Amino acid sequence: MANHLVLFQFIGGLISTSAIHYQSRYNKIHRSIYGLSYDLYILEFFSHLVSIFCTLQYKFSPLISKQYAERFPLFYPQDDPATNLPISIILLLKDILISISSLAILKQLNKYRSSKHIFQGISIYCITSIIILIIFSILTFTCSRFYLPERNSGKFGIFYIEHINYLWVLGNFLSCCKFFPQISINYMGSSTIGFSSKYLVLYIISILCQFLTLFGDEKPFYRLEFNRTPFFTIIIQFISLMFLLYQAQFLYLNSRPYLPRGK
């Protein structure tokens, strides 16, 4: 049964989905994506896709259960179903919903690409981050499976649980950084045009809901849900959103877009 703190994260995820929906609606009404960051939604999509993959592995992989039981027998004994790795299904559902919503925006970024300005597009930093994630994942996966099935160990000390844990960390790193490109796009254009105010307000509410999960949980650390959004991701996203709010309501308030449309 999901506890109330996990429910707060789930509700926050539903609000995030609504925020993305309002951004999609804004784009559709204006038939434009002028001023909207491509990187934001690519990072949004990939970070949640990685989270979904890791969650499914934690939940259903016998190899991960076995390796956790061998490494932490007091916390996750394999012969006791009640001590299986703690995974929240409703948080998995939250990640799926946000991924689907982000994919809808990515389709709009392609559909209305003629309306973008000269600084919009997929940045080299975003491409590099995704490539590094893929290459690193392939390397850690190869190392983790090197001695299987003869020996339940990995080359260079990288077990399969390390491979999934590294992926989880990289996915959260992408999630931490996802608002940075939008801040940069606003700065380069000295405007927040194209960035839905409802999206911003709803996402801030979403993060505030998730802030509540940082306090009051009486569970021991090893029973916390593996797919819960960690505190550092929530805090960095909150700081980023406050900067976006500053740009929208103070720094570039009533600023008119001046950048020419690109190709």
Span 188-197, pLDDT tens digits: 989 998 889 9
Could you give the CA distance from residue 4 to residue 205 in angstroms, rounded to a whole number?
17
Span 71-84, pLDDT tens digits: 888 888 877 655 58
Q: Which domain holds residue 28?
A: 4-123+177-251
User: Does residue 132 lie in a domain region?
Assistant: no
User: Does residue 181 lie in a domain region?
Assistant: yes
The closest alpha carbon to 17, from 150, 189, 170, 209, belongs to: 209
Structural tokens at position 91: 């948080």
In one letter, which amino acid is 165?
A: N
User: Does residue 90 lie in a domain region?
Assistant: yes
User: Does residue 171 lie in a domain region?
Assistant: no
Cα 101 to Cα 12, 45, 68, 107, 228, distances in angstroms: 15, 9, 34, 10, 20
Span 6-64, pLDDT tens digits: 888 999 999 999 999 999 999 999 999 999 999 999 999 999 999 999 999 999 988 89
Span 78-125, pLDDT tens digits: 776 555 889 999 999 999 999 999 999 999 999 999 999 888 999 999
User: Does residue 221 lie in a domain region?
Assistant: yes
User: Does residue 147 lie in a domain region?
Assistant: no
pLDDT over threshold 80, residue 148: no
Q: What mean pLDDT comes out for the span 143-169?
A: 85
User: Does residue 155 lie in a domain region?
Assistant: no
Q: What is the pLDDT of residue 215?
A: 73
H or E element at residue 177: helix 160-177
User: Does residue 261 lie in a domain region?
Assistant: no
Eight-state DSSP code of residue 117: B
Q: Identify the band that residue 1 occupies on the pLDDT scale cut at 50, 70 and 90.
A: very low
pTM of the model: 0.91
In one letter, which amino acid is 115?
A: S
The number of domains in the chain is 1
